[in-house]
Amino acid sequence: MKKIMLLLVAICALFPPVHAQAQSWPTRPVRLIVPYPAGGNADIIARIVANALQTELHQAFVVENKGGAGGIVGAMAVTQAASDGYTLLLSANGPILFAPELAPQRPYEWDKAFAPVSLVSVTPLVVVVNPNLPIQDFKQFVDFARKEGDKLTFAAGGLGTINHLFSEYMQSKLNLKWTTVQYKGTAPAMMDVMGGQVQFSIDQVSSAAPFIGQGAVRALGVTSEQRLAVLPKIPTLVEQGYPDLVGNTFTAMMAPASTPADVLAKLHAALVEAGQDPKFREDIERLGAEVTTMTPQDSRIFLERESAVWTPIVRRLNATPN
């Protein structure tokens, strides 16, 4: 009997409990992969988050930019990493939900490949038009779109982006049809709206607010449920009578599937604690975003709801990302 007990003790020593492993995590630097080039909205948020987590968890969080294939390259690097909490993804909607649907062969399904940690931020969109158009509000825009049909042109900031998908969503909900012009990014799309080559666009509030303030474009409505502090005079589409027209760009932190629940919980708790820091909130809000944390389970529910809305639209596009 004594020999059996000694054997059991030896086996337990070789395989420490997951809870004990989670208590000690992290004991070395953590990679935070951003599936875009440096400098974009998600990259900036990732660096704010990395600094905060480094303070909270007393370990280095190193941001790595891995762009390509609509974000699939970076996301795949996380799906192929060990499920130990040392490789994480910080991404917007596209690489998590949309890009896999647009690939010739679906490389992963988010709900099987990833374990959600938490949402990090939510950024609403804003519908903007060239200021020379005789349109002052969204109802006038809808009337104008019905009259113009395919002659109305929309500047999309990239195939399969939330900006593009919200345009498709609006056409479906409002029974409208306009011509979509694809650009490699929202910046060149906005430039052509300002120049009058294209008539309207949909952009993140964080990107569009300076142009709205300068009068270079006219804002018709924001896609949040409530008015925004950054654009307090711009009504929501909801309050203008379109309750279904709600959409956002989010950023979320994801881990490889099967990452221990205790590690996910520790990460989430650190993000919640970071969100209490006024400097952290100020840095995020300066981008036109709102700090939004959710438990891993609530994050999964949120992503399931987002997928239910947007995935059917993505699949109808029947195209591949650049």
Q: Which residues contact 320 (CB under 8 A, 6 or more apart)?
A: 102, 103, 104
Q: Would you place residue 192 in the very low, low, confident or very high pLDDT band (cuts 50, 70, 90)?
A: very high
Residues of the chain with CATH 3.40.190.10: 124-222
The answer to whether the bond into 107 is cis (omega within 30° of 0) is no
Q: Considering the domain delimited by 124-222, tell me its CATH architecture.
A: 3-Layer(aba) Sandwich (3.40)
Q: How many beta carbons lie within 10 A of that of residue 11, not counting itself?
A: 9
pLDDT interval class at 158 (50, 70, 90)? confident
Q: Is the pLDDT of residue 5 over 70?
A: no
DSSP H helical segments within the chain, as ranges? 2-14, 18-24, 41-57, 72-79, 93, 99-102, 110-113, 138-148, 162-174, 186-195, 205-214, 261-275, 278-285, 296-317
- In this structure, which topology does domain 29-122+249-317 adopt according to CATH? D-Maltodextrin-Binding Protein; domain 2 (3.40.190)
Segments of the chain assigned to CATH 3.40.190.150: 29-122+249-317
pLDDT at 320 (0 to 100): 47
Q: How far is CA 201 from CA 20, 48, 174, 279, 317, in A?
A: 51, 28, 16, 32, 18
295-313 residue pLDDT tens: 999 999 999 999 999 999 9
> How does the average pLDDT of the chain come out, rounded?
90
Give 37 or 50, the one with higher predicted confidence: 50
